[in-house]
Amino acid sequence: MKAVILAAGYGTRLQRDIENDTTGNFKHLGGIAKPLLPVGPCALISHWVQALTKTRCVDTVYVVTNDLYFEAFQQWAQEFPNVKIINDGTRRNEDRHGAVACLQLTVKLCAVDDHLLVIGGDTLFKEDFSLREFTERFFEVQNKDKESNLVLSYQCKDEETSKYGILELDEDLKVQRMKEKPLLSETSSRNACPCFYMFSRTSLPLLDIFLKEKKNAPIEERDAPGTFLSWLILRRPVYVHRISGRFDVGNLASYIECDKYFKDQLHNPTVYLM
């Protein structure tokens, strides 16, 4: 299996928060890509690469970033021989290709013909998450159908449904549909879906079809990776593996919360994510 970490975003909300912060305590974080932010003892992205390497869940980790942060990622990756950095060629948020196009770039450029684990570069999970358990669950659903895919889900609060992609499931934890940021009145589900997907090798060719269909659509319809997942659910089996929660580093407040968890509350850092 292979893994790709999506790291081509520009972190505009976070950078704006840092610039507007009057305390000056976070000035040193200005201009740093979100996946490279220090979280506890290491960069956010390093938590993933260390766990992927130790568990041997995958043999290669691709990190797709933009031209603005490319050199910084190249420098970071020097200590990880199994990491390959991919440059999407953009230097401004206004010119971004979107996460789905970055995923397609990785598959084509690196000739990926394998199951592919897709990880949001600004995402981490609580301590109950286990890569080994997730991988075991993936092969369970693969035994049902070789075209099966696996995603994560956790229970969000009522007031949070309008912030996330919400999955509606059957009794076998198979996804029936995904609603993007629905109102409370539009779904009874509270199954939020973070950017952490295992796509089967048979699903990867569908990236081309999706992007051809969305070629003339606004960037919002092909930017977030959930847009492809929502489309895929109608065409391939997608199942859920449950977790307790996640950290989504989108702004300064969420970064502070995440960093505090890793400094004060993480019980077993040596086996985290494994």
CATH number, residue 213:
3.90.550.10
Number of domains composing the chain: 1
For β-strands 116-120 and 2-7, DSSP reports them as parallel
Residue 55 main-chain phi, psi, to 5 deg = -80, -15
128 located within any domain: yes
Distances (CA, A) of 124 to 133, 182, 248, 250: 16, 23, 7, 12
**How many Cβ atoms from other residues are within 10 Å of residue 168's Cβ?**
15
Per-residue model confidence (pLDDT) at position 269 = 84
pLDDT in the model for residue 236: 97
Domain limits at 231? 2-265
Give the pLDDT confidence score for residue 219 in this predicted structure. Answer: 84
In a domain, 52, yes or no: yes
Alpha-carbon 220 to chain mean position: 17
Residues of the chain with pLDDT under 50: none
Instruction: Answer yes or no: is 39 within a domain.
Output: yes
Q: Residue 199 burial (CB < 10 Å; 0-12/13-18/19+)?
A: buried
Q: Count how many Cα atoms sit within 13 Å of the Cα of residue 224 in the half-sphere of its side chain.
A: 16
Res 5: pLDDT: 98
Answer yes or no: is 42 within a domain: yes
- pTM of the full predicted structure? 0.95
274, part of any domain: no
Q: Is 270 a member of any domain?
A: no
Q: Which of 101, 120, 135 is nearest to 193 (CA)?
A: 120
**Residues 2-39 pLDDT 10s:** 999 999 999 999 999 999 999 999 999 999 999 999 99
Does some domain include residue 273?
no
**272 within domain boundaries:** no
Could you give the CA distance from residue 51 to residue 248 in angstroms, rounded to a whole number?
18
